[in-house]
Amino acid sequence: MKAFKQRITIVFATLILTSAASSASGWMTNLDGALKLAKQKKKPVMAEFTGTKWCPPCIMMEDKVFKKSEFTKVASKKFILVKVDIPKPDSPSAKKYRDLMRKYRVMGVPTILLFGEDGREFSRFGAAEFPSVDAFLAKLDAELEKRDMD
Protein backbone atom coordinates (compact mmCIF):
# COMPACT_ATOMS: atom_id res chain seq x y z
CA MET A 1 0.00 0.00 0.00
CA LYS A 2 2.84 2.37 0.86
CA ALA A 3 4.52 1.70 -2.50
CA PHE A 4 1.21 2.40 -4.28
CA LYS A 5 0.84 5.77 -2.51
CA GLN A 6 4.42 6.65 -3.45
CA ARG A 7 3.75 5.83 -7.10
CA ILE A 8 0.57 7.92 -7.14
CA THR A 9 2.46 10.82 -5.56
CA ILE A 10 5.21 10.51 -8.17
CA VAL A 11 2.67 10.43 -11.03
CA PHE A 12 0.90 13.56 -9.79
CA ALA A 13 4.17 15.36 -9.13
CA THR A 14 5.34 14.51 -12.64
CA LEU A 15 2.12 15.83 -14.15
CA ILE A 16 2.35 19.03 -12.14
CA LEU A 17 6.02 19.56 -12.99
CA THR A 18 5.44 18.79 -16.66
CA SER A 19 2.57 21.23 -16.73
CA ALA A 20 4.53 23.88 -14.82
CA ALA A 21 7.64 23.42 -16.93
CA SER A 22 5.65 23.87 -20.10
CA SER A 23 3.58 26.81 -18.92
CA ALA A 24 6.32 29.34 -19.66
CA SER A 25 6.21 28.50 -23.36
CA GLY A 26 2.63 27.23 -23.35
CA TRP A 27 3.73 23.84 -24.72
CA MET A 28 4.05 20.39 -23.21
CA THR A 29 6.33 17.79 -24.80
CA ASN A 30 4.72 14.55 -23.60
CA LEU A 31 1.67 13.55 -25.63
CA ASP A 32 0.53 10.77 -23.29
CA GLY A 33 0.81 13.14 -20.30
CA ALA A 34 -1.16 15.79 -22.18
CA LEU A 35 -3.93 13.32 -23.03
CA LYS A 36 -4.21 12.37 -19.34
CA LEU A 37 -4.27 16.04 -18.37
CA ALA A 38 -6.99 16.65 -20.97
CA LYS A 39 -9.30 14.23 -19.13
CA GLN A 40 -8.66 15.98 -15.83
CA LYS A 41 -9.08 19.51 -17.22
CA LYS A 42 -11.83 18.55 -19.67
CA LYS A 43 -9.95 20.34 -22.41
CA PRO A 44 -8.98 19.18 -25.93
CA VAL A 45 -5.37 18.65 -27.02
CA MET A 46 -3.55 20.10 -30.00
CA ALA A 47 -0.49 17.99 -30.83
CA GLU A 48 2.03 19.39 -33.27
CA PHE A 49 4.32 16.79 -34.83
CA THR A 50 7.28 18.79 -36.08
CA GLY A 51 10.96 18.74 -36.92
CA THR A 52 12.21 22.14 -35.80
CA LYS A 53 15.90 21.31 -36.34
CA TRP A 54 15.73 19.96 -39.90
CA CYS A 55 12.33 20.48 -41.61
CA PRO A 56 12.01 23.81 -43.52
CA PRO A 57 8.15 24.01 -43.31
CA CYS A 58 8.36 23.15 -39.58
CA ILE A 59 10.93 25.87 -38.96
CA MET A 60 8.77 28.35 -40.87
CA MET A 61 5.68 27.44 -38.82
CA GLU A 62 7.65 27.68 -35.58
CA ASP A 63 8.83 31.19 -36.48
CA LYS A 64 5.57 32.50 -37.95
CA VAL A 65 3.02 30.87 -35.63
CA PHE A 66 3.92 28.49 -32.82
CA LYS A 67 6.46 30.53 -30.87
CA LYS A 68 4.41 33.73 -31.10
CA SER A 69 2.89 34.71 -27.76
CA GLU A 70 -0.28 35.90 -29.52
CA PHE A 71 -0.75 32.31 -30.70
CA THR A 72 0.04 30.51 -27.45
CA LYS A 73 -2.04 32.90 -25.32
CA VAL A 74 -5.18 32.26 -27.37
CA ALA A 75 -4.63 28.60 -28.29
CA SER A 76 -3.71 27.53 -24.75
CA LYS A 77 -7.05 28.83 -23.46
CA LYS A 78 -8.84 26.35 -25.75
CA PHE A 79 -6.31 23.50 -25.97
CA ILE A 80 -3.56 21.75 -24.10
CA LEU A 81 -0.66 22.34 -26.50
CA VAL A 82 1.86 19.58 -27.17
CA LYS A 83 4.96 19.79 -29.34
CA VAL A 84 6.35 16.44 -30.52
CA ASP A 85 9.69 17.54 -31.98
CA ILE A 86 10.97 14.72 -34.17
CA PRO A 87 14.77 14.47 -34.50
CA LYS A 88 16.48 13.91 -37.84
CA PRO A 89 15.57 10.45 -39.17
CA ASP A 90 19.18 9.20 -38.83
CA SER A 91 19.63 10.34 -35.20
CA PRO A 92 20.00 7.82 -32.33
CA SER A 93 16.63 8.73 -30.79
CA ALA A 94 14.72 8.56 -34.08
CA LYS A 95 13.29 5.05 -33.48
CA LYS A 96 11.30 6.16 -30.43
CA TYR A 97 9.74 8.95 -32.51
CA ARG A 98 9.14 6.69 -35.52
CA ASP A 99 7.17 4.39 -33.21
CA LEU A 100 5.16 7.36 -31.89
CA MET A 101 4.45 8.57 -35.43
CA ARG A 102 3.39 5.06 -36.43
CA LYS A 103 1.10 4.82 -33.39
CA TYR A 104 -0.70 8.04 -34.38
CA ARG A 105 -0.43 7.41 -38.15
CA VAL A 106 1.56 10.58 -38.82
CA MET A 107 3.14 10.31 -42.26
CA GLY A 108 5.06 13.59 -42.32
CA VAL A 109 5.70 16.84 -40.53
CA PRO A 110 4.44 19.41 -39.71
CA THR A 111 1.18 17.64 -38.86
CA ILE A 112 -1.44 18.72 -36.33
CA LEU A 113 -3.64 16.22 -34.48
CA LEU A 114 -6.56 17.41 -32.40
CA PHE A 115 -7.86 15.18 -29.61
CA GLY A 116 -11.00 15.54 -27.54
CA GLU A 117 -11.06 15.43 -23.77
CA ASP A 118 -11.72 11.70 -24.10
CA GLY A 119 -8.40 11.17 -25.92
CA ARG A 120 -10.01 10.45 -29.29
CA GLU A 121 -8.69 12.20 -32.36
CA PHE A 122 -11.25 14.45 -34.02
CA SER A 123 -9.14 16.21 -36.65
CA ARG A 124 -5.76 16.28 -38.38
CA PHE A 125 -4.25 18.62 -40.93
CA GLY A 126 -0.99 19.91 -42.31
CA ALA A 127 0.21 22.85 -40.24
CA ALA A 128 1.94 24.62 -43.13
CA GLU A 129 -1.42 25.19 -44.82
CA PHE A 130 -2.08 27.96 -42.25
CA PRO A 131 1.16 29.99 -42.06
CA SER A 132 -0.04 32.92 -39.93
CA VAL A 133 -1.30 33.24 -36.38
CA ASP A 134 -4.72 34.47 -37.52
CA ALA A 135 -5.15 31.75 -40.16
CA PHE A 136 -4.07 29.01 -37.76
CA LEU A 137 -6.33 30.19 -34.94
CA ALA A 138 -9.24 30.40 -37.41
CA LYS A 139 -8.56 26.80 -38.47
CA LEU A 140 -8.55 25.65 -34.82
CA ASP A 141 -11.85 27.44 -34.20
CA ALA A 142 -13.37 25.88 -37.32
CA GLU A 143 -12.29 22.40 -36.22
CA LEU A 144 -13.74 22.91 -32.73
CA GLU A 145 -17.00 24.15 -34.26
CA LYS A 146 -17.15 21.19 -36.64
CA ARG A 147 -16.53 18.78 -33.72
CA ASP A 148 -19.28 20.39 -31.65
CA MET A 149 -21.75 19.95 -34.54
CA ASP A 150 -21.09 16.20 -34.82
The pLDDT, as a whole number, for residue 15 is: 42
In the structure, what pLDDT confidence band is assigned to residue 3 with cuts at 50, 70 and 90? low
Report yes or no: 139 and 74 within 8 Å, Cβ to Cβ.
no
What CA–CA distance (Å, rounded) separates 59 from 110? 9
| All domains of the chain in start order, with CATH | 2-149 (3.40.30.10)
Identify any residues that bridge with 41 across adjacent strands, giving them in sequence order.
Answer: none
% pLDDT > 70, the chain: 84
Identify any residues that bridge with 104 across adjacent strands, giving them in sequence order.
Answer: none
Report yes or no: 65 and 130 within 8 Å, Cβ to Cβ.
yes
Q: Concatenate the DSSP letters of all residues of 52-117 into one string.
A: TTT-HHHHHHIIIIIT-HHHHHHHHHHSEEEEEEPPPTTSTTHHHHHHHHHHTT--SSSEEEEE-T
Q: Which of 55, 58, 74, 50 is nearest to 128 (CA)?
A: 58
The pLDDT, as a whole number, for residue 150 is: 79
Strand order in the sheet with 27-28: 27-28, 80-85, 45-50, 111-115, 121-126
At 75, the amino acid letter reads A
- The predicted-structure confidence for 33-56, as pLDDT tens digits, reads as follows 999 999 999 999 999 999 999 999
* pTM of structure: 0.83
User: Is the pLDDT score of 24 beyond 60?
Assistant: no
The pLDDT, as a whole number, for residue 62 is: 97
Query: What sign has the CA pseudo-torsion 109, 110, 114, 115?
Result: positive
